Chains A and B, each alone.
Chain A
Amino acid sequence: MPSVFAHIKSWSVLTCFLSSLLIPSLSSADLALNMPKGSTPVSEMVYDLHMIILYICVVIAIIVFGVMFWSIFHHRKSKGHKPANFHESTTVEVIWTAIPLLILIVMAIPATEGVFAMYDTEDSEVDIQVTGYQWKWRYQYMGEDVEFFSNLSTPKEQILNQQSKGEHYLLEVDEPVVVPVNKKIRFLLTSNDVIHAWWVPELAVKKDAIPGFINETWTYITEPGVYRGQCAELCGKDHGFMPIVVKAVEESEYLDWLNQKKQLRLAELAKAAAEAEQTWDMNRLMTTGKDVYEKNCLACHQAQGEGLPPVFPALKGSPIIKGEIEDHINIVLRGKTGTAMAAYGPQLSDAEIAAVVTYERNAWGQNDAWKENKGETVQPADVAKLR
């Protein structure tokens, strides 16, 4: 025993010295290889906990591997060493059961405090309901009449390598989540279809969005800034294409934005109501319909209505398109249970649904009469009747 310990001593002194040279650079602000320190008390706690445990593991590794490599090298057969004949030692067994147990208890204490902190969603000042969809997020600010969808805004051309990629490739959206700094924000997570997960690394927030359930999590951002995250639970083909952008701003800016959003929403609702009264002509229906289709339907049913059968059926020339208009409107409004077709009634206005149904029935060469402003149209009133 004594000779082994003598060697351990010199090895560990040397390696501790070497690693101490590395430690400052390892813990300096946001080394690209390390996890971010983040801008919330929770993210800092998570970072600190991670670093403590990492250091403990590094020391243990140096000792264990050090002894191992030295023993193997020093006692190799070619040097004439003969194996010693001992194969039990209760003392040693007790020591290397007790010491790891103690180390674990030391780790478990801050870890437990951390878990309790992450679970404490009481007394929030802003509550946001986050719903995962295939393949976008929807945000509803509880108690305020503000809600919107947040879609990936990276252009398809960048994804298909036809254009050079922007700085925030696949991490940018059309509508970020705007929140105030220095206020406790609670997120209520759920899903419209499959399990998604809402993850923003710099806030140290990650929680699953599960259909039929509501999960709670919270954050408290101390630094204004833009924090980008991703969906963290495989949810289908565009799982990698539904990012999250959180914009943390001073409270006054937040209140302004909130107001703006409310006005916009009222305007939207008024517009939808007005449009629902109007009679739309073919051209207007087809143009709006194309927009709505590209934003909502194209991901599954594809650009020419060809779909990805059998999970995402083709629209072009399909029984639904050729059949009764009522059935077509109904399937868009209510979805189809037991399939991936979601209900778009809550998401789209009467005019939008009328437009997209008209588009689907006439586009892709199915009926070119629309180009002369002729053909069978679906009016917003038709949709309203079926809601």
Chain B
Amino acid sequence: MNDTVANPDSNSVPDHDHHQPSGLSRWLLTTNHKEIGTLYLIFSFVMLFIGGGMAFVIRAELFQPGLQFVDPNFFNQMTTMHGLIMVFGVVMPAFVGLANWMVPLMIGAPDMALPRMNNWSFWIMPFAFGMLLSSLFMEGGGPNFGWTFYAPLSTTYAPPSTTFFIFGVHLMGLSSIMGAINIITTIMNMRAPGMTLMKMPMFVWTWLITAFLLIAVMPVLAGCVTMMLMDIHFGTSFFNAAGGGDPVMFQHIFWFFGHPEVYIMILPAFGVVSQIIPAFSRKKLFGYHSMVYATASIALLSFVVWAHHMFTVGLPVAAELFFMYATMLIAVPTGVKVLTGLQPCSKVR
């Protein structure tokens, strides 16, 4: 009863009409991890050129002393937006794109654990960044207070578009948190039979740890910008000393996010390197266990070093010393990773 001879393309089971969508619907509604990974990578690439263009404006202006192309206020908008775009719009989405592509493949899973949420995680991004970029054209200009947006420069003394900046950060944070949940759920639940945690590729390990960092600190950033919103619009004084608040508290909260953030950006890269070196040395990764433990130690330590971004704010001397020692300590597991990673290059016969 099968009609494969007469019609070789149809199935022998009753046809359920599995039309693959194409065009806009395909890309808007995809739940496929490879397609979503591609979307992230394309988005990141586009943002790279936008942020890169801003870098060119900065360098063109700074090429010689004096004001040549832009006025100081616009220059500050360029430096701010360049930072925001590169951190949140290029590096993070690029690694998320790589994760979407590689993690299911590397653990033998058919897709991510939460494919529809995966789609939404991506599509939030163009809207968040569209809003952020459009703030450059609003009255008063875009954010001009640096990518670290310290208060009160970013609250009392900021242009009205700051509200949109805050909204953009919230959206982008939501995307990252949902993505991180997805990664952890996928890795913990969908590994192929026999793949214990200590048998996973290093890239998967580094992304597992990165995802925990994301869940831990993106809410802190959200809290930080929400307090800014309150100070700007609702008369609170979180960061205003005259009202009983503390501008330095802003920095503590921001950098409690900010330091793990830079590890969020580098850990996947460490994973990539740990995949590349064994491939090209033609031998297995050396010291797999140490690599995993070292990565976990780095992630853990990253929570207790944030004030090394605040050494001139007037911390008590004991605090300054503590953060100095903790920061030096991170060099140990990092060194272990570098030296371990180099092993495959040596002792070949």
Contact = CB atoms under 8 A, between A and B. Distances in A.
Given A97-B332, A158-B66, A195 B153 contact: yes
Contacts of B335: 96-97, 100
Contact of A340 (B73, B156, B345, B349): B156
A311 to B, nearest CB: 5
A100 B331 contact: yes
Contacts of B328: 104, 107-108
A160 B248 CA distance: 36
B317 interface: yes
Interface string A66-83: 011001100101000111
B156 A339 contact: yes
Contacts of B207: none
B241 interface: yes
Contacts of A68: 342, 345
Contact of A234 (B140, B146, B156, B320): B146
A79 to B, nearest CB: 10
A319 interface: no
A210 B314 contact: yes
Contact of B157 (A85, A207, A208, A340): A340
A157 to B, nearest CB: 10
A241 interface: yes
Interface string B296-312: 00000000000000001
A109 B339 CA distance: 25
A169 interface: yes
Contacts of A338: 156
A203 to B, nearest CB: 14
A206 interface: yes
B332 A100 contact: yes
Contact of A308 (B73, B248, B314): B73
Interface in B235-254: 240-242, 246-248
Contacts of B157: 134, 193-194, 236, 311, 340
A165 B349 contact: no
A383 interface: no
B318 to A, nearest CB: 10
A41 to B, nearest CB: 18
A75 B345 contact: yes
Interface stretch (B125-133, B266-274, B281-289): B281-289
A308 B67 CA distance: 18
Contact of B312 (A197, A212, A308): A197
A233 B153 CA distance: 10
Interface string B313-349: 1100100110011001101100110111011111111
Interface in A13-72: 64, 67-68, 71-72
B223 interface: no
A338 B239 CA distance: 12
Interface string B59-90: 00000011110011100100000000000000
Contacts of A75: 345-346, 348-349
Given A64-B339, A93-B290, A338-B156, A213 B72 contact: no
B346 A210 contact: no
B15 interface: no
Interface in A83-106: 83-89, 93, 96-97, 100-101, 104
Given A93-B290, A195-B153, A77 B282 contact: yes
Interface in B92-136: none
B248 A206 contact: no
A32 to B, nearest CB: 17
Contacts of A111: 324
Nearest to A68: B342
A252 interface: no
B65 to A, nearest CB: 6
A241 B325 CA distance: 36
A197 B314 CA distance: 11
> How many B residues touch the partner, as a band?
35 or more
Contacts of B283: 83-85, 87
A110 to B, nearest CB: 12
Interface in A116-132: 116, 119
A213 B339 contact: no
A309 B342 contact: no
B263 interface: no
Contacts of A160: 66-67
Nearest to A73: B345
A161 B160 contact: no
A87 B285 contact: yes
B224 interface: no
A310 interface: yes
A296 B106 CA distance: 64
B146 to A, nearest CB: 5
Contacts of B164: none
Given A71-B346, A75-B348, A310-B160, A194 B324 contact: no
A84 B348 contact: yes
A238 interface: yes
A241 B247 CA distance: 23
A96 B345 contact: no
Interface centre among A4, A85, A194, A236 (most CB of B within 10 A): A194
B232 to A, nearest CB: 9
Interface string A139-171: 000000000000000000011110001000110
Interface in A230-253: 232-241
A338 B159 CA distance: 12
A112 interface: yes
A241 B72 contact: yes
A166 to B, nearest CB: 11
A196 to B, nearest CB: 10
Given A75-B345, A82-B348, A340-B156, A87 B288 contact: yes
Contact of A96 (B144, B158, B321, B339): B339
A215 interface: yes
B173 interface: no
B89 to A, nearest CB: 21
Contact of A212 (B68, B242, B347): B242
A221 to B, nearest CB: 20
5 contacts: A86-B286, A93-B340, A108-B328, A160-B66, A193-B156
Given A64-B339, A89-B287, A100-B332, 10 more contacts: A68-B342, A72-B345, A82-B349, A100-B335, A115-B324, A161-B68, A165-B66, A241-B72, A309-B140, A310-B139
Per CB-CB distance, the 9 closest pairs between chain A and chain B, nearest first, are: A212-B241, A83-B283, A75-B348, A215-B314, A71-B346, A71-B345, A237-B73, A237-B72, A194-B153
